[in-house]
Copies of this chain bind each other. A is one copy, B any other.
Amino acid sequence: MGNKITSRKEDYSKWYNDIVINADLAENSEVRGCMVIKPYGFSIWELMKKELDQMFKDTGHQNAYFPLFVPKSLFEAEEKNAEGFAKECAIVTHYRLKNDPKKKGKLILDPESKLEEELIVRPTSEAVIWKTYKKWIQSYRDLPILINQWANVVRWEMRTRLFLRTSEFLWQEGHTAHSTKDEAMSECLLINNIYAEFAEKFMAMPVLKGSKSEAERFAGAEETLCIEALMQDGKALQAGTSHFLGQNFAKAFDVKFADKSGKLDYVWATSWGVSTRLMGALIMTHSDDKGLVLPPNLAPTQVVIIPMIKSEESKNKIEELSDKIFNDLKSNGVRVKIDSRENFTLGYKLNDYELKGIPIRLVIGQQEIENDEYEIFSRDDFNKIKSNSDDILNNIIKSLDDVQNRMLSKAKKRLNDNTHEVSSYDKFKEIIESQSGFVYCGWDGEASSEESIKKETKATIRCIVGNGEDKDLKCIYSGNPAKHKVIFAKSY
């Protein structure tokens, strides 16, 4: 099977890759930088999608679909956005292949099929969407527009890592249009809060919320809100962003609306997204040296029942009880499966379910039946709870809740333990170099201080969390009065 997982201590980066590969989540494809998301990995992503999609719909958003390609002239329209993505985009130049006259069975570009205007494979869809919104928006009655799309995007990456950084990835991108600045800002905040709630409630992953410094902002945004999670190696991972785009795209695409008095003004915009990167965050938040650990709320299989049949005499009783528990759990909405495969040993099965992070497992054999005592095994802490058959349904359901809560508490504790507040740059450097984690401090708001810190320590501002509330706060770098309270960390 070759599912030996490198330990975190030995090589954190290899540990991550081993889990992705051995738990059957994803693998590299033949296409540089693009991954294959395998069925098990994809089923986790499907659960994430389902929950997020419902949260978006509950807050009035609708799904739609916009083209994969962005004509170059549209791509150029919002200059900062274009500049931000120009260096990492896949470009379609031709629309036909023809037989290679020199090599039988081989194909070459047909030069006659050269496009008049190149098409960019979308790295993000603001341009193509705002060109469309121009047609949809005339008056305040057409606003707000609250649209989301689930799609693939391409950003050409030189160094890729499964889920965390791939040239093609899957994501959702929301694009909203509003008649006032306040309404757009509220939307931006609403979504960032949804992201944080999703991370905590479903991924059991606590996050910090804040806004980005100008250097870290989305290209074309006036403000970027974000959620930042802390991985087990002390590095931060940006898990979701919500952008206030001001009137930048409305101006680039000339999208105006008439208010009630008939006065024309440019439309206000937001855009926001989370991607398959969340899979990487989920894996790195909870997994251990035995494999993947999944929170029940996102586990495709929450409970696995393994009947262990050694003799014909106990076979019926074991199967009967297994089926009963299976059906009871299923009718209570639990995602459960029975593994009665005969050509695999119990040892193999236990190992495989540990590797794949199934939250709860239950082995039912002759001895368990005879004693009417069953062990409910929890993957996250390897604890076993004993139960008789009468209480087993309730005990399993309760255990699922316990696992979810325990995983969140554990992740919260780690976040707290690795969050520091410092006032001297020496201490700052010491923490960043030795243990990393989140470091709170003051910042004078100067890009030069931010850049120097990045150059000297590799730490970047993950988010701004305060704006001058503390009058005595000094910039960690310049010693000048701090403009913002910020969080620094090394990051993915």
Contact = CB atoms under 8 A, between A and B. Distances in A.
A198 interface: no
Contact of A67 (B36, B38, B132): B36
Contact of A66 (B36, B99, B135, B154): B36
A304 B176 CA distance: 26
A36 to B, nearest CB: 5
A118 B106 CA distance: 13
A196 interface: no
A128 B29 contact: yes
B67 A39 contact: no
A28 to B, nearest CB: 10
A121 interface: yes
Given A128-B29, A156-B96, A63 B46 contact: yes
A92 to B, nearest CB: 5
A82 interface: yes
Given A97-B87, A121-B92, A29 B107 contact: no
B36 A64 contact: yes
A478 to B, nearest CB: 34
Interface in A127-171: 128, 131-132, 135, 147, 151-152, 154, 156, 168, 170
A76 interface: yes
Given A39-B147, A70-B31, A72-B107, A92 B91 contact: yes
27 contacts: A29-B128, A29-B131, A30-B67, A31-B69, A31-B70, A31-B119, A34-B69, A35-B67, A36-B132, A39-B64, A42-B64, A43-B62, A46-B63, A68-B168, A75-B107, A82-B107, A86-B107, A87-B97, A89-B95, A90-B95, A91-B92, A92-B92, A93-B93, A93-B109, A96-B156, A97-B120, A121-B121
A105 B76 CA distance: 7
A37 B65 contact: yes
A96 B107 contact: no
A309 interface: no
A429 interface: no
Nearest to A75: B107
Interface string A297-308: 000000000000
A168 B152 CA distance: 13
A43 to B, nearest CB: 7
Given A39-B62, A63-B46, A86-B97, A68 B34 contact: yes
Interface in A45-92: 46, 62-72, 74-76, 79, 82, 86-92
